[in-house]
Amino acid sequence: MFSNKWFRILFYVALFAGGLMIGKSFFAKTATYVPAPAVVRQFETTSGTDAAGAISAASLSGDILEVKDGESILEAVKKAKPGDLIRVYPGKYKETVYIDKDNISFQGVIIEGEWPTLDGEKELNDAFLYSGNGIRIENFKIMNYKGNGIMGQAGNNFIIRNNWILDAGVYGIFPEFGKNGLIEHNVLSGIEDAAIYVGMCDNIDVRHNEVYENVAGIEIENSRHCLVEYNYAHNNTGGILAFITPGLPIKTAYDIIIRNNFIVDNNHPNFGAPGSIVSGIPPGSGIIVMAADDVTIENNIITGNDNAAIGITDLSMGANLSNDPDSEPNPDRVVILDNFMENNGNNPVGEVKLLMQASMLDSAPDIIAIGGGTGSCIRNRERYSTFGLGDWGQCTTGDTKEITTMMLDTLVAPRAITMEEKGNLTYYGICAGCHAYDIRMIGPPINVIQAIYKNNPQGMADFMAAPTHKREDYPEMPPQNYLSPETRLAVAEYILKLKQ
């Protein structure tokens, strides 16, 4: 008869094998892997009963505009009307595609392995930047941008899927202030912050993606009602993160489910920009929960992560965090259900290493909790080696199978945004990744910028459009000239008013 341990191993191996069939983009070991089919994948045109089907029906009601190699995707956007589909054929497109219209869909056509490729050549900041609602982006290869592969600012009802994003700068896929979105079947690699970064969003599903050789694989930050499942996170510095970052307009992160993921060998050296928050993530981290509440971790396979399989911490352990008294610092009501963890903690670093040395242990436990927090529980604690779970209770709840999506079954109304609010959103979407109020990150602190441009917002806006390298102790700022003059001025005015 098999022991309980071997029964569990066989069960999870079967689950792992089943995941191979479910996730079409899983298990690429090199950057030459092509995750999408060799022929165009047609968008669904039926209304459907689920949220993605509703978005599909709402988005596709107009004409098809075709873009061929040598033409401009942005020019097609300028011609497009809500409901139109922009179909892009294989070729190289060096541009930033800025979308401020609603219900525009983008479909790349992949023919015999040739992709429509947006290449920033390390000169442009963003590939796709949308503020419209009902945006769909599918089947593109995106590479060599300084800032972001696909970024959304306050766009609701979005779908981002089947994209291949390589070395695209700070973030690969970054929806911000969005509601009701789906991110699935994307492959992302070489991102110096988070490959998939869900920031200040609500009702988001992140499913069937592969993230590897990034600093952070998937990060849910200051967001609520998020489902992260069937993803393959391997060889990142940290696999999957649920964070609260102080200093942002939304102060909470809660109702997050992390389940059925494969989180393997996330031991990549941290190559995050010095001063960035993720530069403090220790290599070897499987899952990290920092100050987020009501996080459920269930049915994941977590193996080969040298620091720890699961780390739960309060804000005291975060690096380069602003002081924000409105951000509650503790992770409360974290629920750890059945997971398979094996061969983790073999080479702990940083605080974990110091704790293990103080406890005279050779390796780190599967699960480590540091700092405050209340109301958390774990099922069958004896299955795992743990540290710091002193007052955690025995979970009496069942599983989360009845929750199939966090997306809403009806479309969300577009956000009405004033120009002042647009300056606010643009700051947190573009500027805050490099500039904190009073601490050094990638760029100078905001209070230093305020002193330089006091009573001169137009001067700051002009510098954003055509920056020069003024300070040897900071990297050169990428140009933000794809933003309209009105938006740049709104950002500058917001920065000058900003207080800690």
Alpha helices in 259-408 (DSSP H): 350-358
**Amino acid identity of 241?**
L
For 399-437, the pLDDT digits (tens) are: 999 999 999 999 998 876 777 777 887 787 678 767 878
Q: If you average pLDDT over every residue of the chain, what do you get?
A: 85
Task: Give the model's pLDDT for residue 270.
Answer: 92
- Measured between alpha carbons, how far is 496 from 500 in angstroms, rounded to an integer? 12
Task: Give the model's pLDDT for residue 436.
Answer: 77
- Please check the confidence at residue 339 and state whether its pLDDT lies above 90: yes
Where is average pLDDT lowest: 207-221, 347-361, 413-427? 347-361
For residue 320, report the phi and psi dihedrals to the nearest 5 degrees.
Answer: 55, 40
Mean pLDDT of 294-314: 96
Task: Give the model's pLDDT for residue 398.
Answer: 87
Nearest to 4 by CA among 340, 240, 307, 301: 340
For tokens 């930050």, the residue is: 221
Beta-carbon contacts of 33 under 8 Å, excluding residues fewer than 6 positions away, are 187
Tokens of 56: 């599909």
Beta-carbon contacts of 297 under 8 Å, excluding residues fewer than 6 positions away, are 258, 259, 287, 289, 310, 334, 335, 336, 337, 339
Alpha helices in 203-292 (DSSP H): none
Per cent of the chain over pLDDT 90 is: 59
- Specify the pTM: 0.83
What are the residues facing 340 on neighbouring strands? Answer: 301
Q: Which helix (H) or strand (E) holds 264?
A: strand 262-264
Mean pLDDT of 2-7: 42
Q: Residue 78: exposed, middle, or buried by beta-carbon count in 10 A (0-12, 13-18, 19+)? A: exposed
For 86-133, the pLDDT digits (tens) are: 999 999 999 999 998 999 999 999 999 999 999 999 988 899 999 899
For 152-191, the pLDDT digits (tens) are: 988 999 999 999 999 988 899 999 999 999 999 999 999 9
Task: Give the model's pLDDT for residue 319.
Answer: 58
Helix (H, G, I), strand (E, B), or coil: what is residue 479? coil
For 11-48, the pLDDT digits (tens) are: 444 444 444 343 433 333 333 333 443 333 344 433 33
What does 34-82 look like in DSSP terms, one character per residue? --S-SS--PPP-S--SSHHHHHHHHH-SS-EEEE-TTS-HHHHHHH--T
- Measured between alpha carbons, how far is 203 from 225 in angstroms, rounded to an integer? 5
Task: Give the model's pLDDT for residue 57.
Answer: 72
